[in-house]
Amino acid sequence: MVSESQMNEFTAWAKRRGVIFPSSEIYGGLGSSYDYGPVGVEMKNRLKTSWWRSMVHERQDVVGLDSAIILNPAVWQASGHLDNFSDLMVEDLKTHKRYRVEDLDDPTKSPEGNPVGEAKQFNVMFKTFVGPVEDDASTAYLRPETCQGIFIDFKQILETSRQRVPFGIAQIGKSFRNEITPGNLTFRTREFEQMEMEFFVREEEANKWFDYWVEARFQWYLDLGIRKENLRLFKHPKAKLAHYSKGTTDIEYKFPWGWGELEGIANRGNFDLVQHQKNSGKDLSVFDEETREKFVPWVIEPAGGVDRALLAILLDAWKFFQKGRKEDGEPETVLEVAPTLAAYDAAVLPLVKKPELLKMSQKLVASLRAAGKHVFYDESGSIGRRYRRMDEIGTPICYTVDFESLDDKKVTARDRDSMKQTRVTL
Ligand code: GAP
């Protein structure tokens, strides 16, 4: 686990090992914009697959969606984002840096101790233009949350998927917010990925489903291997609820800089569907054949961030041994991540660069790949260094092919965490 004093070490590791690094770096970067390298993108994809499996594939009552990022701007008028999706912002009168009032200990002073100007509302939606003319009529927005695509497609999906309330629609995708104070690596960025599911229920069943989803989502983070003592639930006080929410509980992680939100589970009532019904003029109610009732469903929403979840997983799994794990005294990093989230399932390492060993190793790589495994192959350098490189990116197992392997058709399987080596049949 990463402590606050190890954050620089962790950030350097993330860059060096192709996990996460600043974007556009050759041009000096772009404030809090990050890229995921070869290791990071694999882990991120596996995280999303895990979410999709638990939220969609393993259930009868949830279906998926991939909606557009740029929607008709009327969506954001109806959803309340054009009027309400803003942060109260102040400017340091000396440095002219801007801060969210919410982040300040004293709202009259900047963190540097300078006086601040009058607080102003700042809408955090990114504006753009659709088509060649840049005027008010062509103004559009990059979505600040993925869920509105779900609400506006709700009726269409209900009619074509053979689902009935209670049921859910899940979506993973990029969202954009012009955050005033991004920071803490990928914790708060302006471009990020969300995993959201809108679960449509009858009003009288909303509380039951809310409790169900809080528990199910908390368990998902535990199943990914995050330590229980680093996770907690935080119930939002009524006064701090978002404009659409009747109740929200966050799942928080103990980041090196303090507790921070990974996911919010909100009871959105029927706010969104009613708003879209009013603004679009389309009937978004459902008809219950049994009770012969027409109603606009309520919504329970588990809304998580891919980048934040991955950051928490990395921070939780990262271990630094100043004097190495053996007595050789060399500093060593091990990413003790769940094997299902590791960038590679296994590495294949010929002990030395001899043609017969390379040939046998390549055959092993091919058979592992045919079995659907993501394999790293590395044939040069000392075996100790090659093991350490794999430990650093969390590869759970390394298979070493040596001269004995040619005779007994066995390889050495070396475990990342225990470093135990066992001979296994090919
Ligand atoms: N539809 C509800 C919604 O968007 P939210 O709490 O604003 O709720 C959900 O966002 C999740 O998206 C958060 O819990 C967080 O994990 C992620 N998220 C939000 N803003 C983010 C940002 N600026 N950078 C990274 N992740 C962010």
The three-state secondary structure class of 133 is coil
Kindly give the number of the ligand 1 atom that is closest to the alpha carbon of 186.
25
**Residue 254 CB–ligand 1 contact under 6 Å:** no
Predicted confidence band of residue 289 (pLDDT cuts 50, 70, 90): confident
Atom of ligand 1 nearest to the CA of 261: 14
Instruction: Tell me: pLDDT of 328 over 80.
Output: no
Binned at pLDDT 50, 70 and 90, residue 31 comes out as: confident
What's the CA gap between 77 and 272, in Å, rounded? Answer: 11
Look at residue 332 in the predicted model and tell me its pLDDT.
93
Whole-angstrom distance, CA of residue 135 vs CA of residue 337: 49
Strand-pair category, 286-288 with 318-321: unpaired
* CB 263 near ligand 1, within 6 Å: yes
Residues 328, 331, 336, 339: what is their CA dihedral angle, to the nearest 10 degrees?
-70
Ligand 1 center to residue 133 CA distance, Å?
32
Q: CB count, 10 Å around CB of 392?
A: 19
Angle between helices 147-161 and 271-280 (to 10 degrees): 80
Domains along the chain?
Answer: 4-82+124-315 (3.30.930.10), 86-123 (no CATH), 344-425 (3.40.50.800)
**What one-letter code names the amino acid at 86?**
S
Pocket test for ligand 1, best of 194, 196, 246, 300 (most atoms within 8 A of CB): 194
The rounded percent of the chain whose pLDDT value lies above 90 is 90
| Residue nearest atom 22 in ligand 1 by C-alpha distance | 188
Min mean pLDDT across 109-123, 238-252, 317-331 is at 317-331
If you measure from the C-alpha of residue 389 to the centroid of ligand 1, how many angstroms do you get, rounded to a whole number? 33
Going by pLDDT thresholds of 50, 70 and 90, the confidence category of residue 102 is: confident
Cβ(170)–Cβ(262) under 8 Å? no
For ligand 1, is residue 249 a contact (CB within 6 Å)? Answer: no
Q: 0.85 cut: is pTM over it?
A: yes
The residues, any chain, with a CB within 8 Å of residue 175's CB and separated by 6 or more, are 142, 143, 144, 145, 146, 191, 192, 193, 194
Kindly report which listed range (36-40, 44-48, 221-225, 245-249) carries the lowest average pLDDT score. Answer: 245-249
Mean pLDDT of the chain: 96
Spatial separation of the C-alpha atoms in residues 258 and 168, rounded to whole Å: 33
With a 6 Å cutoff on the Cβ, whether 81 touches ligand 1 is no
Q: How far is the CA of 304 from the centre of ligand 1 (A)?
A: 6
* Ligand 1 pocket member 394 (CB < 6 A): no
Atom of ligand 1 nearest to the CA of 308: 16
C-alpha torsion sign, points 399, 401, 404, 405 = positive
Tens digit of pLDDT for each residue in 371-389? Answer: 999 999 999 999 999 999 9
Q: How far is CA 175 from CA 100, 125, 306, in A?
A: 20, 10, 11
Burial of 6 (0-12, 13-18, 19+ CB in 10 A): middle
- Confidence at residue 327, expressed as pLDDT on a 0 to 100 scale: 65
Ligand 1 centroid distance, CA of 8 (Å): 25
Taking CA atoms only, the protein residue closest to ligand 1 atom 19 is: 305
Compute the average pLDDT of residues 260-284. 97
Mean pLDDT of 63-69: 98
Cα separation of 92 and 114, whole Å? 6
